[in-house]
């Protein structure tokens, strides 16, 4: 016979174990799971602490995360990596963090200790030689004009962040020879509009960049400009560079200067009239009359170029009217200045030059993007590499 005692239970204050406690204030009832850390076997005893991986070998410059495990007499195990106390007990090849992260410092070996609840675990770690990590192609993704040639560099970056130049030893490949036929020794040309992935492999690692070739035909560029040096404000020169795959006849070309407020029809000064031709990847240097220490291919009277603000234009024809082949404006110039391409480059000063980087001939028709201000001048020589 079954007797219902629910009423008696209520009178006696006894809760029915099968009844769910109703939720109050958004909290779950007693039939919901309770998030409590309960030791399944409170009587178990800690037997040992082990560290994994053990032994471990990793390359100089890298880190290695270790894990500490507490082992109990009932064959249960708990990961106690963050609760353990970590230390290096011997050796100087690495350090260990409070969370068990090994950081290499030099080649060699160390012994690592993790202590938890009075028990210590030990592990041997070996820091091996640096390893090749990846190949860095210096310019990154790049844009070329049609029939433009460029020189780039490849370096193997090791796990300790040291580098090795492998430009001439790497295996260079291109996935679209109709756009970039080859890139051997870091020398590549874009021969048609499109994109190609160029890769360099060395020491078992590879790096790649995307080369975009525009439909714009290759042309001469103003590659570097100096309006004054630390020695003299009259130490001014302009370097013209041929980034194209063929020579360019410059007979009748002019190099012209415009002051910052000269946004009308007239160039301020004719600097020099060019002659002859410029070979692929060759430069011509044109200088003020007081420049010394470099070989100039043409010159003008000193002091044409205002030091901080102004513009230089290369024309395929006479001053004022010749079509502009390339131009570079710097500092504060009036809107509508014909030698501005895109956004004007920063102001120049004594001891600084504006140079096309990250590679010679880098041309996006935007002065601020095409030029970098630097104290490392390279008159009549490539800016890179």
Provide CB contacts within 8 A for 197, sequence distance 6+: 174, 175, 176, 208, 209, 210, 211
pLDDT over 70 at 158, yes or no: yes
Q: What is the pLDDT of residue 304?
A: 85
| CA neighbor of 102 nearest in space, from 52, 32, 152, 33 | 52
| Among the listed residues 383, 357, 346, 343, the one whose alpha carbon sits nearest the alpha carbon of residue 140 | 357
Q: What is the pLDDT of residue 22?
A: 39
pLDDT band for 170, please (50, 70, 90 cuts): very high
What pTM was estimated for this model as a whole?
0.78
Q: What is the pLDDT of residues 129-139, one digit of tens each?
A: 999 999 999 89
Residues 199-229 have pLDDT tens digits of 999 999 999 999 999 999 999 999 999 998 8
Cα separation, 340 vs 313, in Å, equals 9
Report pLDDT digits (tens) over 88-131.
999 999 999 999 999 999 999 999 999 999 999 999 999 999 99
CA 10/CA 25 separation, integer angstroms = 24
pLDDT of residue 40: 60
CA 58 to chain centre: 25
Residue with the two structure tokens 């560099």: 153
Half-sphere exposure of 76 (CA within 13 A, CB side): 11
- How confident is the prediction for the chain on average, in pLDDT? 89
> Is 106 buried (19+), middle (13-18) or exposed (0-12) by CB count in 10 A?
exposed
Asked if residue 77 has pLDDT above 70, the reply is yes
Residue 1: pLDDT above 70?
no
Contact 250, 259 (CB under 8 A): no
Q: What was the pLDDT predicted at 244?
A: 97
CA atoms within 13 A on the CB side of 213: 25
Q: What's the per-residue H, E or C state across 92-111?
A: CCEEECCCCEEEECCCEEEE
Burial of 188 per CB tally in 10 Å (0-12, 13-18, 19+)? buried
Stretch 73-78: mean pLDDT: 95
pLDDT at 159 over 50: yes
Local confidence band at 313 (pLDDT 50, 70, 90 cut-offs): very high
**Token pair belonging to 271:** 């600097």
CA distance 187 to 194: 18
């Amino acid at each position: 016979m079954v007797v219902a005692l629910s009423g008696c239970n209520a009178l006696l204050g006894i809760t029915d174990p099968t009844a769910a406690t109703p939720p109050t204030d958004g909290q779950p009832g007693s039939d919901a799971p309770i998030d409590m850390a309960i030791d399944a076997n409170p009587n178990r005893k800690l037997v040992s602490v082990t560290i994994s991986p053990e032994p471990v070998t990793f390359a100089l410059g890298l880190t290695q995360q270790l894990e500490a495990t507490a082992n109990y007499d009932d064959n249960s195990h708990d990961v106690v990596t963050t609760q353990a106390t970590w230390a290096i007990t011997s050796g100087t090849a690495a350090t260990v963090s409070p969370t068990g992260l090994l950081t290499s410092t030099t080649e060699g070996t160390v012994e690592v200790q993790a202590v938890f609840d009075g028990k210590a675990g030990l592990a041997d770690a070996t820091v091996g030689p640096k390893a090749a990590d990846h190949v860095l192609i210096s310019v990154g993704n790049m844009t070329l004009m049609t029939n433009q040639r460029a020189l780039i560099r490849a370096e193997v970056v090791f796990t300790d962040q040291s580098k090795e130049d492998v430009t001439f030893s790497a295996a260079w490949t291109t996935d679209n020879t109709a756009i970039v036929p080859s890139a051997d020794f870091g020398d590549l040309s874009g021969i048609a509009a499109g994109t190609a992935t160029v890769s360099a492999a060395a020491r078992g690692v590879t790096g790649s960049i995307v080369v975009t070739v525009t439909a714009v035909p290759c042309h001469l560029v103003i590659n570097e400009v100096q309006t004054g040096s630390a020695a003299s404000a009259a130490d001014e020169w302009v370097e013209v560079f041929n980034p194209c795959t063929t020579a360019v006849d410059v007979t009748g070309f002019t190099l012209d200067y415009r002051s910052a407020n000269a946004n009308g029809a007239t160039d301020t000064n004719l600097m020099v009239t060019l002659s002859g031709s410029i070979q692929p990847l060759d430069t011509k240097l044109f200088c003020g009359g007081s420049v010394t220490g470099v070989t100039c291919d043409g010159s003008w009277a000193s002091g044409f170029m205002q030091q901080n603000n102004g513009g230089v234009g290369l024309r395929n024809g006479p001053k004022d009217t010749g079509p502009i082949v390339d131009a570079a404006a710097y500092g504060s110039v009036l809107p509508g200045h014909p030698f501005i391409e895109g956004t004007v480059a920063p102001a120049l000063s004594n001891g600084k030059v504006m140079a096309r980087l990250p590679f010679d001939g880098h041309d996006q028709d935007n002065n601020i993007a095409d030029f970098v201000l630097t104290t490392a001048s390279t008159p009549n020589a490539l800016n890179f590499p």
